[in-house]
Each structure stands twice: as structure tokens, then as C-alpha cells.
């Protein structure tokens, strides 16, 4: 990712933070619409899950320029996700749901450059998480 892209992801995520609860709800609604078979993998309270997901995205967004620290945390998260029944193919569905949600949530601020920056950022996250899945 370029420093400009990291900046775009951070600025746009900062706009999501104050509305993270409805955004998380929108995200999971879209995810289960895209693939209803994913719903049973989630056993806990979805509001709590949304808070955890948003916190983790926040950590990752903050660490995009410090990959030596970020990657071990992502690999560990990827490992835990395997334990929840997550397969590598599911990451594409999550990517679609996330981009759709950001577009809906950010409106005009979700420019083509912001979209490209999020695709790159998601690639960093999912890449590190899936590497573990493949190992
Ligand atoms: C970049 C991608 C992803 C991120 C940042 C992420 C983040 C998280 C976080 C923070 C948790 C909370 C528990 C923990 O920390 O161990 C979690 C749990 C979980 N994630 Fe992910 N995840 C991602 C991808 C996926 C994908 C692709 C799926 C597939 C459906 C998935 C399904 C789950 C499930 C089922 C749980 C456990 C829910 C429960 O406790 O019942 N995640 N994830």
C-alpha cells in the first residue's frame, strides 16, 4: 500500500468509528444475505461480535505502516478464525460485504481512490490471516 492509501483508509475509517454499531449491523446483514450458510458459524451475541470486528479493523488500520507488529496479530486472528469454522474462500464474501457496507456508510466520501485503498488494506488483512489458514 502507498502512504496515500494508508492515509485514505485511516481518514475514512475515522468517519466510520462514530457509527460503528449500525455499520457492523449493516455488514453482518449483508454478509448473511450473500451467504446464509455463514450465519450458523456465529454463536455469540452479534452486537458484541460487531464491536470486536470494528476494534480489530481499527487496530489493523492503525498498524498498516508497521507490518512487523501487525502481522503476528493477524496470523493469530486467522488461526482463531479457522477454529470458528472459517475457510479461505469465505474471505472473498467478507470482502464484498465490507466494500458494500463502506460504500453505503460513507456515501460520497467513498471515492474510487478510497475504494482502491480499502481493497488493498483488506488484502493485507486477509492475506496475513489466510497465510495461516494455508499453513
Ligand atoms: C479481515 C477479515 C476478518 C477479520 C478482521 C475478523 C475479525 C474477527 C474478530 C476480531 C473476531 C473476534 C474473536 C477473536 O478475536 O478471536 C472474529 C470472530 C469470528 N469470525 Fe472473523 N474476521 C475476519 C474474517 C472472517 C471471515 C472471512 C469469516 C467467515 C465467515 C469470519 C467469521 C468469524 C466467526 C464465525 C467468528 C466467531 C464468532 C463467535 O464467537 O461465535 N471472520 N473475527
- Per the structure block, which three cell numbers stand in for 108? 460520497
Residue 53 CA to ligand 1 center (angstroms) comes to: 7
pLDDT confidence of residue 133: 58
Residue 91 CA to ligand 1 center (angstroms) comes to: 10
Q: At what angle do helices 46-62 and 67-83 cross, to 10 degrees?
A: 160
Domain count across the chain: 1
Residue 85 CA to ligand 1 center (angstroms) comes to: 10
Residue 117 sits in a domain of what CATH number?
Answer: 1.10.490.10
Pick the atom of ligand 1 nearest to 52's CA.
10
The parent domain of residue 100 ranges over 3-134
107 torsion bin: left (phi>0), alpha (psi -120 to 50), beta (else):
left
pLDDT confidence of residue 131: 87
The binding-site residues of ligand 1, defined as CB within 6 angstroms of any ligand atom, are 38, 41-44, 49, 52-53, 56-57, 77, 80-81, 84, 86, 90-91, 94, 125-126, 129
pLDDT confidence of residue 16: 97
In whole angstroms, what is the distance from residue 69 CA to residue 115 CA? 25
**Mind listing the pLDDT tens digit for each residue in 69-116?**
999 999 999 999 999 999 999 999 999 999 999 999 999 999 999 999
pLDDT confidence of residue 132: 73
Amino acid at each position: 500500500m502507498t502512504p496515500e492509501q494508508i492515509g485514505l483508509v485511516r481518514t475514512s475509517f475515522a468517519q466510520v468509528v462514530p457509527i460503528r454499531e449500525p455499520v457492523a449491523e449493516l455488514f453482518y446483514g449483508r454478509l448473511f444475505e450473500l451467504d446464509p450458510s455463514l450465519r450458523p458459524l456465529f454463536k455469540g451475541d452479534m452486537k458484541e461480535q460487531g464491536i470486536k470486528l470494528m476494534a480489530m479493523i481499527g487496530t489493523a488500520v492503525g498498524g498498516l505502516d508497521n507490518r512487523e507488529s501487525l502481522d503476528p496479530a493477524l496470523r493469530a486472528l486467522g488461526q482463531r478464525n479457522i477454529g470458528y469454522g472459517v475457510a479461505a474462500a469465505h474471505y472473498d464474501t467478507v470482502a464484498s460485504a465490507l466494500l458494500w457496507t463502506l460504500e453505503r456508510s460513507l456515501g460520497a466520501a467513498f471515492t474510487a481512490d478510497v475504494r482502491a485503498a480499502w481493497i488493498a488494506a483488506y488484502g493485507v488483512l486477509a492475506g496475513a490471516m489466510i497465510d495461516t489458514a494455508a499453513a
